A and B are shown apart, each in its own frame.
Chain A
Amino acid sequence: MTKDKIIIAVYVDNKFGVLSRVTAMFTRRGFNIDSLTVGETESPEYSRITITLSAGKTDKEQVVTQLRKLYNVKKVVVLSGEDCIKRELLLIKVKNSEENRPVILETANIFRAKVIDLGEEAISIEVTGDSQKIDGFIQNVRNYGIIEMCRTGIVALDRGSTSIWSYHED
């Protein structure tokens, strides 16, 4: 079965232990999460979890319907690939040297990345964008030596004036 990359936005009660209930469902049913982010929302009683995973049609339906059964889950929406804004943040520390510095800074410039910290031995850079852009940046600086990096995983919103609450669940 062909698998698509899907992004699922999940509104949950902003309460103790809810994240582990959500991730436990994925473990228990054998669905593999590619990335997961969680944070506050416009209303303090809810958190928004953004999950990306690769899944075929049946798995996608299972993930959504099983999530909806969880007591603390209030809304589940699959965000359609093209109509949504996806962003990820990368923090990366690259080895600094006199010969490499200009080209690293030039790369950062091309990717519209921000240099956050410049030391004798390392340059720390912040990059925001969709996952392909982040992958591209990492590819470009890999040869200069990556000391350490971390990426946040995707957060996503649909374009336009709608909110997750205006979706009909079916």
Chain B
Amino acid sequence: MIEQTLLFQAFVYLCAAVISVPIAKRLGLGSVLGYIIAGIWIGPFGLEFVAVEQDIMHFAEFGVVMMLFLIGLELRPILLWRMRISLFGMGGMQFFLTAGLVCAIAMAFGLDWKFSLAVGLIAAPSSTAIILQTMQEKGWMSTQGGRASFSVLLFQDLAIIPILALLPLLATAKTVPVDIETGSNSLNLMKELPAWSSTLVILLAIGAVILAGRFLLNPMMRLMAETRLREIFTATALWLIISIALLMEAVNLSPALGTFIAGVVLAESEFRHELESDIQPFKGLLLGLFFISVGASINFDLFVAKPFLIAGLVVFLVAIKAGVLLVVGFVFRRRAREVMRFTMLLAQGSEFAFVLLAFSATNGIMAQEQVEPLVLAVALSMVLAPILIISFEKLDLMFTSDTLDEPDEDDNITDHRPHAIIAGFGRFGQIVGRLVIANGFRVTVFDQNPSQIDLLKKFNANVYFGDGSRFDLLKAAGADKASILVIAADDREKVTQIARLAHLKFPDLYILARATDRRHAYELIELGVDVVEREMFGSALQMGKKALVALGYRAFQAERAGEMFRRFDHEGLRHLSKIEFGSDQYREQVHLMTQDLERIMTRDKVRFSEMRGDKDWEH
């Protein structure tokens, strides 16, 4: 093997991902399978670039932790509350039925009950990483089956806590429990504590996360936001997740669950979108790494040695899980199509299984040679998962005429989308925003001034920290579904930047932009902005009308003169933008504004007086 520097490893992993994933996507296999295949060919049974080290696997599992944080962010507490029936009903039923059945069958094969129970508990969870990644990729989160899957996954995450507590009790040999998940040098508060106080510590830890989320994190992020340094904000977000994960591990809770709770608490925060877009790339890469590790960890030697045992275990695992899921789906009266989606999504082993199996081995519940085939079976079931999901899609296409996934109205996970997005809530945006909000339209506001954000939140507006010049933030704010985007930022370059981005990425969005001056207006028109308003024009025109009245004009006469002038100027703007923007002169900025003005005033003198006035209206 070639010398493994960190950079070289990074090179190999990224290279494998960059090659495999696009090909897999192109072939319609989805990114998960792409990563797994990448893992197989760089792994010990492929090109032997990497060996799977536990460390990498653990590091990669952090992707799952981040993913649950992100999901928490999307899920307001109220939505979580609405899910309680499917969470505990479907989740509980799936978990106990699967665990019970696997345990019973294992015992029927003559295995020890403790061993059987451990296998049952380990078989019950499904792979959060695969399922959520797939659902996000295919946009299934808002389907009935997607939500049911999510409820079940959440229950499984909750169940990990008691399982970790239960497994050592099943140990046949007395061995020193080793905390597999955290490794040796992390702190553990639970080592010597009696049961009642460890429960108390767990509750305290969760309480701490909730309280910190409510009262501490927002002010802290505001402070970070005020530095206007993006990387500091990103660092804060990462630090936040890592510290929660560490805290959870210290009390033997699932870090994923802890960050999920933190996410839910922060779902109402104005920094939600910023957090989302900061964490998203890390999550994606880490999950990719995780799937690569799964691929690389597949032990082909073992498979060749015991093909029937391994194949049997895989089929057994997938078939039992699928059977139970079918029953659960129909008991809870979901539509047949959604039951199928739900079944195909969840019928695989979980990444927790790797952890729990290793944990069982060190606790002496299972022997190492018993664990290895099980690990392989779980890994292979994960390879099978994307294939099952693809086959569901193919069948679905055959049997349903429309391929649209109808989202359910009542307890939708995704937020209802705003009607208008306003980027910038300074002196200009405020007027637009107040008018639109006062008329009862839903509005999402981007602003970078924390005190402004506070104020707006008092009026129940959707406010987010940021300036709207980033694609991910715009998308998070619902730019793909909103009807209009008002760009009201103070900064000229920022306005142009947002307009260019929004026009390119969201061609359906109707864009209204604030222009600093005439030349900026030309530029925005050229970019394809639908409505351009020069920031000073409206108020100056109003003043002009009042000046005419003060000079002796009738109010209506001044009104008409002003409005005619607006039309005249506007036509000139559209007309001249075509001529001037294309000319070479445009590039020579010197004297151009005065030249513009001279040309414009000449046009005013000649043409405005020719403009059709009010000929009648006598006597």
A-B interaction? no
> CB within 8 Å of B: which residues of A?
none
